[in-house]
Amino acid sequence: MLKNKISEVNRLNLVLRSVFWALAIILGFIQTRSGRYLMWYDGPSYLDIADNYLKGDWTTAINACWSPLYSWILGIALFIFHPSPYWELFLVKSVNFVLYLFALFSFDFFLNQIISYSSDKENRKEGIDDILKKPDWVWIVLGYTIFIWSSIVWILVHRDSPDMMVAALVYLATGFVVRIAMNPLNWSNYVILGFILGLSYLSKSFMLPLGFVYIISIIHISDRISLKSSLLRASISALLMLLVALPFITAISLQKQRFTIGDAGKLNYAWYVSPVANDHYWQGSPETGTPAHPVRTINKNPEIIEFATPISGSYPAWYDPSYWSDGIQPKFDLEKQIYIIKQNLKYLIKLFLAFFLLLFFFLASINKECTIGFLRNIIHNWRFFLTPIAGFISFIIFTDLAVIDEPWIAFQTRYIAPFVLMLFVFVVFSVDVKSVLSKKTLGGIVIVSVILANVALLFQPSFKRRTIEYPVNDIRNYHWQVADNLAKMGVRPGDRVAVLGFDDEELYWARLAKVKIIAAMSADYYSSKKRKKTIALNVLKKAGVNALVIPSLPPWVSDKDLSPDWDKIGETKTYIYKF
């Protein structure tokens, strides 16, 4: 009888897991396909870096801003498939989808560990008859629902960045922390954890300090191991993490001629917190510092900024922001820091913290013992909460999470998504639901919560723009069309071009056309007098520019405002002036 019951439970779990895997894969594929014509602004930099690794030009490829692992993976895909310019974007989206599947697998591993650990802990609690054990299906339904939400809404499957890979490695590392808690004597778990943490650093530099938080969390994580033995094993994890990370740390430190694990954190603080410097075309100020090698202003009105040398890439200004920003001085301003922290906390409360407060008050409404047990378990399981809380604190302090309040872009939620998911799972893990709540009631609460979550997902205003086809400028395969038509109009690989406007979001076409953007001109050009326009164009010509491109016209300008010397590029809303 017991065997039959266990078999039924396992069958239910397998069916549920299969359903959610299928749902996650289908939704992930839909979003990947819907974004197949989009190239996110960091993507071309990662691809250009991948090219330099493939060419063996490691000096140029080493970059203190963009972490290397995503470029390595893209480089492997480029090496295997050798895509034509037309198919390159589709290959990148396929890589992103594979990384999403990796995140799904990693989360499944993490969830299996937490289910096993939860069952083990609940079975060893005193007064087991007074505790309503959380069935496995509750973990599966709630866990996969929040995973799908966080991946599709907060990270974006089609985003051309390492954020999905970071999330996958966070899930894997946390799963091994839970596994160590269950079996603290197994050396292999510590070895694998150290290797994963090293890879995490290679995917995003902030994961190195967070890796040490992981190491702290596993020290004496169980009473089944002595403190001395635990410290020895944790040291092995730390050593392996550093062994994986040190070669790249050494390379960028030698390049910068100073010790650094990466400049992304410093730059984000300077760009978004204090003293708020321009992330593009920074030329210094008394508040922000003096650039060691700034971009060059070659015309004042309209302003033209040139950045042809010495950085490579199709768009040198964003290939290595750490080079152009050398000399920037982030400054601690208490008043501004408090303001940023307040703004970030408001943003997080609106995003998800309100849910946790509602959960707490719900538990308090059941009975006093349930609330006390919940708080007691959170304190007892503090090691599990250490990493997600450390992740939140780092982003609350060092960046502005609400800097771009455009939900479909998911600009900063991609950073915190895996930590929200972990926090959610560990909060559920810490809940002791007393037997005053029946299994049917618990099941009803879970089902209603999942339905509400999915309804919210489907009907939120931002969801459509995340999932339906959203071609750039209403043009299918915009970047390829621009690149292809540039070639037909006489622009050749290796030509040097300038762009009109300081917006860098839609410049992937330059990589496909194999041209180099070496300058950008202010949109003040449109309102300038004819004489100043002529002077500006002559300045660009003397700088070696072969063509000036308008990626998209500002809302206040129409094509009728352009002189006859401007040609429309194919069916796009992009224009070119050839010298």
352 and 497 in a single domain? The answer is no
For residues 240 and 375, membership in a common domain is answered with yes
Q: Which among 497, 359, 365, 485 has a CA at the least distance from the CA of 430?
A: 359
Report the alpha-carbon distance of residue 210 to residue 207 in Å, rounded.
5
Average pLDDT over residues 241-260: 97
DSSP 419-458: HHHHHHHHHHHT--EETTS-HHHHHHHHHHHHHHHHHHHH
Q: Lowest mean pLDDT: which of 28-37, 81-90, 205-214?
A: 28-37
Greater pLDDT, 183 or 456: 183
**How does pLDDT run across 254-274, given as a tens digit for each residue?**
999 999 999 999 998 988 888
Inside any domain, residue 64: yes
Same domain, 67 and 98: yes
- 455: in domain: yes
Decide: 543 and 308 in contact? Cβ < 8 Å.
yes
Same domain, 442 and 379: yes
What is the β-pairing status of strands 433-434 and 516-521?
unpaired
Please tell me whether residues 420 and 559 are part of one structural domain.
no
Please tell me the predicted confidence (pLDDT) of residue 130.
46
Percent of the chain at pLDDT above 90? 57
Q: Which of 439, 468, 497 is the last residue of a domain?
A: 468
Residue 270 lies in a domain: no
| Tally: H helices and E strands in the chain | 23, 9
Q: What is the pLDDT of residue 153?
A: 83
Domain's final residue, options 408, 435, 468: 468
Domain count, the chain: 2
The per-residue pLDDT for 432 is 66
> Mean pLDDT over residues 300-316, rounded?
95
Residue ranges making up the domain that contains 146: 1-250+335-468
Residue 276 resides in a domain: no
- DSSP E strands, 267-393: 296-300, 303-306
232 and 359 fall within a common domain? yes
Whether 393 and 342 share a structural domain: yes
> Mean pLDDT throughout 394-413?
72
Q: Determine the Cα–Cα distance for residues 329 and 442; give it in Å rounded to an integer.
A: 54
Q: Which residue has the tokens 């089944």?
A: 224
> Are 99 and 175 in the same domain?
yes
Residue predicted with more confidence, 362 or 335: 335
- Looking at the structure, do residues 109 and 240 belong to the same domain, yes or no? yes
Average pLDDT, integer, range 552-578: 90
**Is residue 516 domain-resident?**
yes
- Residue ranges of E strands in 311-440: 433-434
Distance, CA of 35 to CA of 471 (rounded, Å): 8
Question: Residue 433: which region, alpha, beta or left (left: phi > 0; alpha: psi -120 to 50)?
Answer: beta
Q: Are residues 235 and 377 in the same domain?
A: yes
Which pLDDT tens digit goes with each residue over 123-172? 455 444 444 567 788 888 888 988 998 898 889 899 999 999 999 999 99
Same domain (yes/no): 298, 356 = no
For the cut 60, the answer to whether the pLDDT of residue 195 exceeds it is: yes
- At 473, the pLDDT band (50, 70, 90 cuts) reads low
Both 170 and 318 in one domain: the answer is no
Percent of the chain whose pLDDT exceeds 70: 83
pLDDT over threshold 90, residue 47: yes
Q: Determine, yes or no, domain membership for 280.
A: no
Listed residues 414, 438, 468: the one ending a domain: 468
Query: 277 lies in a domain?
Result: no
Confidence check: pLDDT of 471 > 90:
no
How confident is the model over 71-84, as pLDDT tens digits?
999 999 999 999 99
Lowest mean pLDDT among 166-175, 313-322, 435-444, 506-515: 435-444
Is residue 194 situated within a structural domain?
yes
